[in-house]
Amino acid sequence: MIEIKNLPEHILIEVFSNLSPKMIKSCCLVCKSWNEIIANTTELMDNYVLNLNKPYEVTKSAKEIERKHQSALVKDLSQDSLDDICRHNLKSLKISGTIRESLLVEALNNLPDLKDLDAENVEFVYDKSNTVNFMKVHTNLQQLKCDVGIVHIFGCSALKKLQLMTEEYVNYDKKTLIHFLQQQKELQELILIEINDDIFCSFEILQLKLSLKSLSYSKFEPILFYNNLIRFLRLQKDSLTSLELDICTNPKFGIDQLHEFSLKNLKNLRHLQLGFVSGEVHNNMLSFQELTPEKHTAKNIESLDFRSGYDLNEAKGFFKMLPNIKTLTFEAGNNYIIGISNDVELLQYISATHTKLEVLNLSAFMKHAFNDVFFPNLKEFSFINVDNEGNDDIQNFINYHLRTLEKITLPDARIITETVANEIMKCEKLKSFELSARKSSLSFLKLFRNISSKSPFTFTTIMDDIKEIFKFPDDKAIWDEKIESLSDEAQEFKLF
């Protein structure tokens, strides 16, 4: 076993930063010096989360905790859990479940330093008679995720990031929302999900000058949408660097005009995401070929993301206009696959013309598109929703990029055969391997025990949507012991 003794403080902080909150808590109990280092390191404490998802058990133990948490996760906010979180000087709060509106207001009034509030998955019980204006006591909130129906309780004016969503049954006051947006003079990122398009018929909305850097729309209706959206974008054209559109509509209602406007007028745009969440196919990419480089200003786009609903059979002209792409993503939806009939030809074209590409994210539908495709500067490779049929293609692709790849992301350990794993281990600069599935097998553990000898090397896995990042142990006896305790039929191995 490796013994940590008399290491410099910055080295210890680096080690601690790769531990889970549970392990950080254990390290606090090792010695006084470790406890002080962790307590005084902001980046560590930001990840040290007070979890109140089990109110009775955690509330009972929380009173014994002397450390002040900066982050909290709360389900079904009650008076007891409210008392607990108010004991801490929280900067980040995520709440879910059923919550009384007046209780949330009380919590916010007692958290003056709160910077990040996530109330995305909350069902509110409204109690307007007890509602207190949040504006009078709070000026520091910078990030907010919530239902559009509760913006009336927030009087904050320093937001930098705002995400609003709504359900079909929720009614909201458009005037209240507009007034709220008018107060956000520092807003840089705006995300609107399932908000009815009639908001863009408002004269006040179309006059908002927010100087946004990032704008994201999802699931809109077609009526009067595109013309109004273009008018809104025109006010942001000098500041906008990221635009994401997932449109829930038939694409023939003005989408070409929207694309053309984006490419002609958003001169500072760096990231562009396009998609149709309804499953409709937009195959009129030929119109983009009329936009020669001299006629558009979006030459600096470095990140391009295609979602469901685009048929890219005629997309070469589109890619020709964007020569500086460094990150490229093709991601299909759960029930609909992007219509690419000749994906091999398209990917070969991109690899020949886009030598600056550093990050490539591909969906399963492109699993046979790797033959004779080489990107000379590729650093990161991600394959999404793959099945076992793509093993040989993945092996070939990794083999072509042994000298450049630094990060590989795969969705399932079961596709990693011995041959694929051997190719991964040959990557000269590989620093990170991400596995976005919960299940693995004994053969997977045996293969990646060898990869653990790479230094430095970070392995990331997603378990119940929580990423746990850790350094592989250098002592292979630990791996031998764990592997021997498993049978060949083992289907799940939890590393914490």
Q: Return the pLDDT at 206.
A: 67
Distance CA 421, CA 439 (A): 17
HSE-up (13 A, CA, CB side) for residue 143: 9
Structure-token pair, residue 307: 């979602």
Please report where in the chains the tokens 């984006």 appear, as a residue. Answer: 262
Residue bearing the bigger pLDDT, 144 or 278: 144
Number of other residues whose CB lies within 10 A of the CB of residue 403: 11
Q: The pTM is what?
A: 0.73
Name the DSSP letter for residue 472.
P
Identify the pLDDT of residue 380: 93
What type of residue is 144?
L
pLDDT at 378 over 90: yes
CB count in 10 Å sphere of residue 202: 15
**How far is 261 from 138, CA to CA, in rounded Å?**
39
Task: Give 149's DSSP letter.
Answer: G
Q: What do you get for the CA distance between the two ends of the chain, in Å?
A: 18
pLDDT at residue 256 greater than cutoff 70: no
pLDDT of 430 strictly over 90: no
* Whether 123 contacts 97, CB under 8 Å: yes
**Spatial distance between the Cα atoms of 150 and 138, rounded to a whole number of angstroms:** 16
Cα 266 from Cα 296, distance rounded (Å): 9
Per-residue pLDDT for 75 more than 70? yes
Q: Domains in the chain, start-ordered, CATH in brackets?
A: 1-47 (1.20.1280)
Q: Which residue has the higher pLDDT, 166 or 47?
A: 166
How many helices (H) does the chain have, and how many strands (E)? Answer: 17, 18
418-425 helix and 391-400 helix, angle to the nearest 10 degrees: 10
Nearest residue to 166 (alpha-carbon basis) of 153, 181, 150, 180: 150
E strand or H helix at 396: helix 391-400
Rounded to the nearest integer, the mean pLDDT of the chain is 69
Entry field: residues in the chain: 496
* 35 to 7, 24, 27, 28, 39: CA distances (angstroms): 15, 9, 7, 4, 6
451 pLDDT above the threshold of 60: no
Decide if 112 contacts 140 (C-beta within 8 A).
Answer: yes
Write down the pLDDT at residue 161: 93
Residue with tokens 């990161």: 380
Mean pLDDT of 36-60: 57
pLDDT for the residue 480? 55
pLDDT of residue 7: 64
